[in-house]
Amino acid sequence: MLEGMQCCGTCPVRHQAVCGALDHRQLQRLAAVARRRKIAAGQILFMELEPIGSYANVVSGVIKLTKSLPDGRQLTVALLFAPDFLGRAYSSDNPYRAEAATDVEICVFPKTAFEKLVADHPGLRERLFRRSLDELDAARRWMVLLGKKTATEKLASFLYFLAEGSIQRCGKPASGQQAPVIELPLSRVEIADYLGLTTETVCRQFHRLRVKKVIEMDNKRLVVIRDMTQLVIAAGFIGAGPIVRPAM
Amino acid sequence: MLEGMQCCGTCPVRHQAVCGALDHRQLQRLAAVARRRKIAAGQILFMELEPIGSYANVVSGVIKLTKSLPDGRQLTVALLFAPDFLGRAYSSDNPYRAEAATDVEICVFPKTAFEKLVADHPGLRERLFRRSLDELDAARRWMVLLGKKTATEKLASFLYFLAEGSIQRCGKPASGQQAPVIELPLSRVEIADYLGLTTETVCRQFHRLRVKKVIEMDNKRLVVIRDMTQLVIAAGFIGAGPIVRPAM
DNA sequence: CGACATGTTGAACCTCATCAACCGACGTGG
DNA sequence: CCACGTCGGTTGATGAGGTTCAACATGTCG
């Protein structure tokens, strides 16, 4: 077992995560109960409708949140990356299944201890609130993708979304913009579940983007973005033609 | 101009809305700056990306939040009903267009005054936080609808969602369950935009549900739910066959 | 009345899902 | 070592569900 403070001191997401709101003393309090855990890819953190006994920060890796229909169809409603927070305040049971998409490291806080800390510390509350608002915006952006975009646009948007994230994490590639390389954290099936498509369609769209010289792929999991502007256009973020502003 | 306190005293959403967290004194402070406004159906409250100078409670009627792609495709990402809250904390500009779907009454709070009140009152903050979490859950539930459901399921889900809401508002129809009647707050086009479909498809699905005796329609805007269980099945909430639990 | 918005219906088309075959990588066991 | 089964990924053929385009119906307002 890692000792608490040691854990927080070396934590790579110390400042970006919700705990960034805490001062030294408060961090000690949190660290006393926090525990690092490694989760292997594919492991399920908690099932749908299962009560969750703890909160957690994602320290590294990617976690999927998925919902499923009674007949087995399922959709991944969110991906959680490095400084993201896992857990639902004000509700004991939660409506998602959380699963490690890659090998994952999380920092787990027991429910009651964390809630006490939240109750005492307004800064922490604010961070959680901000985060949930950001998630809400992200969810609604994704709704547009799911409801209105074509298969190509969906995949292009997904790749752009990943590129954007990796740029934010690793620093942007200056103005010289060398081609960003992204490692897909999801299998084809998982991508399909995230985009509301089937595996086959996802494959074909990868193919199309490759043929159009927008991307390049060495490994099945490694994507090089050859033409960022084309990707953005393919994603439907800017119109290929003139921008149509809907009339009042 | 209505005087503040009078406004809050007679407010039908006084307790359910976020201001339910305030005691009498604080309510006075809010009421001093709050203003009732009536908005006609079709009016736009604020445009996408436009900074918003105020927050508001929905007192009556329905507000649509929609996002649009540069080429004009658009999706309604949320409907706001009576005690709902309109506004985005921690962000001056917002990513949605807000439009009155029906005639609407809202209670408007100037941005800074309201924010000051929020800063002073933890109960209010908590309410806002809870609300945003609920919205997040709702958004993600809707993502499943948009990403995985068929046209029939989408419309049935929408009707169920409305029925549920009206039951919650008007009290449930006992166990005797007389057929719930719902008035559609949206036109066909608007429903289509909400469900990620086209007008034509929405029409055809209405037709199908009518043929199947699940619903009945007098007016174009009045839907009687003849068979609630069939509606729930059509919505895909429970499997028509045996429930398949995905294997671990 | 005609012009316009909203809703409905029909027919043709197209995207994407479905079903099936196949490929390569990997691990296991003979 | 190779045969094998399995799993993830790719490709092809086919078909259904939903979009698109067009016509028409209905209701409303000038």
pLDDT tens-place string over residues B164-203: 998 887 776 655 567 899 999 999 999 999 999 999 999 9
Taking an 8 Å cut-off on Cβ atoms, the answer to whether B69 and A130 are in contact is no
Q: How far apart are CA A65 and CA A47, in angstroms?
A: 10
Nearest chain B Cα to A87, which residue? B133
Q: CB within 8 A of B15, min separation 6: which ones? A: none
Closest nt to B200 (CA→C1')? C8
Task: Please state which of the ranges A23-32, A211-220, B216-225 shows the lowest mean pLDDT.
Answer: A23-32
Mapped to the 3 state alphabet, what secondary structure does chain A carry? CCCHHHHHHCCCCCCCCHHHHCCHHHHHHHHHHCEEEEECCCCEEECCCCECCEEEEEEECCEEEEEECCCCCEEEEEEECCCCEECCCCCCECCCEEEECCCEEEEEEEHHHHHHHHHHCHHHHHHHHHHHHHHHHHHHHHHHHHHHCCHHHHHHHHHHHHHHHHHHHHCCCCCCCCCCEEECCCCHHHHHHHHCCCHHHHHHHHHHHHHCCCEEECCCCEEEECCHHHHHHHCCCCCCCCCCCCCC
CA distance A14 to A11: 5
Q: Separation of CA A196 and C1' D3 in angstroms?
A: 39
Helices (H), chain B: 4-9, 24-33, 111-120, 122-148, 151-170, 188-195, 199-211, 228-234
Residue in A with minimal Cα distance to B120: A122
Q: Is the pLDDT of residue B12 over 50?
A: yes
What is the percent of chain A where pLDDT is above 70? 90
Question: What integer pLDDT is reported at residue B170 of this predicted model?
Answer: 75
Q: What is the mean pLDDT of residues B38-57?
A: 92
Tell whether the model's pLDDT for residue A6 goes beyond 70.
no
* Dist. CA B180–CA B166, nearest whole Å: 9
Cα–Cα distance between B118 and B5 in angstroms, integer? Answer: 19
Q: Which two tokens stand for residue A55?
A: 């909160």
Amino acid, res. B106: I
**pLDDT by residue (tens digit) across A178-210?**
789 999 999 999 999 999 999 999 999 999 999
A38-48 average pLDDT score: 93
CA distances from A179 to A156, A208, B174 (A): 15, 19, 63
Whether the CB-CB separation of A178 and A225 falls below 8 Å is answered with no
Distance in Å, alpha carbon of B185 to nearest chain A alpha carbon: 20
Residues of A in contact with B125 (CB under 8 A): 125, 129
Nearest nucleotide from residue A198 CA, by C1' atom: C17
The residue with greater pLDDT, B37 or A170, is B37
Nearest CA to the C1' of D10 belongs to which residue?
Answer: A203
Residues 216-235 of A with CB under 7 A from strand D: 217, 220-221
Pairwise CB contact (< 8 Å): B90 & A147: no
User: Is the entire prediction scored with pTM above 0.85?
Assistant: yes
Partner-chain residue, chosen from A69, A130, A244, that has the shortest CB–CB distance to B144: A69
- Identify the residue whose Cα has the smallest distance to the C1' of D12: A200
B190 CA, D27 C1': Å apart: 19
d(CA A217, CA A207): 10
Amino acid at A127: R
B54 Cβ neighbours under 8 A, 6+ residues apart: B87, B108, B109, B110, B111, B114
Q: Which two tokens stand for residue A73?
A: 């169809």
Instruction: Identify the CA nearest to B55 among candidates B63, B68, A246, B122.
Output: B63
Whole-number Å distance, CA B203 to C1' C7? 8
User: Taking Cα atoms as reference points, which of B204, B194, B198, B228 lies closest to residue B152?
Assistant: B204
**Distance (Å) from the C-alpha of residue A107 to the closest C-alpha of chain B?**
22
Crossing angle of helices A122-148 and A151-170, in 10° steps, is 150
φ, ψ for residue A225, nearest 5 deg: -90, 105
CA-nearest of B100, B130, B105, B103 to B20 is B130
Q: Is B105 helix (H, G, I), strand (E, B) or coil?
A: strand
Q: Do A144 and B237 touch (CB under 8 A)?
A: no
| Residue A101, amino acid | A
**Nearest nucleotide, CA B201 to C1':** D18
* Average pLDDT value for chain B: 90
Tokens describing residue A60: 């590294």
Do the chains contact at A136 and B139, CB–CB below 8 Å?
Answer: yes
B109 Cβ contact partners less than 8 Å away, ≥ 6 residues apart: B30, B33, B34, B54, B55, B56, B117
Q: Which residue is nearest to nucleotide D27 (CA to C1')?
A: B220
In terms of residues, how long is chain A? 248
**Nearest C-alpha of chain B: how many angstroms from A238?**
6
Whole-number average pLDDT of chain A: 90
Using CA coordinates, name the residue in chain A closest to B95.
Answer: A137
Mean pLDDT of B204-233: 96
Q: How far is A175 from chain B (nearest CA, A)?
A: 25
Is the minimum distance from the CB of A206 to strand D below 7 Å?
yes
B74 sits within 7 Å of strand D by its CB? no
Inter-chain contact B143–A75, Cβ cutoff 8 Å? yes
Among candidates A72, A139, A237 on the partner chain, residue whose Cβ is nearest the Cβ of B140: A139
A-chain residue closest to B135, CA distance: A136
∠ CA B68-B71-B72 to the nearest 5 degrees?
A: 50
Q: Which residues touch strand C (CB under 7 A)?
A: A 150-152, 196-198, 200-201; B 187-189, 199-200, 202-204, 206-207, 217, 220-221
The pair of three-digit structure tokens given for residue B225, joined into one six-digit string: 């739910």
Residue A173 CB neighbours (<10 A): 15
Give A66 CA → C13 C1' in Å.
34
- Distance between CA atoms of B176 and A119, rounded to whole angstroms? 44
Residue A37's DSSP bridge partners are: A106
A130-134, B119-123, B157-161, B203-207: least confident range: B119-123
Coil, strand or helix at B172: coil
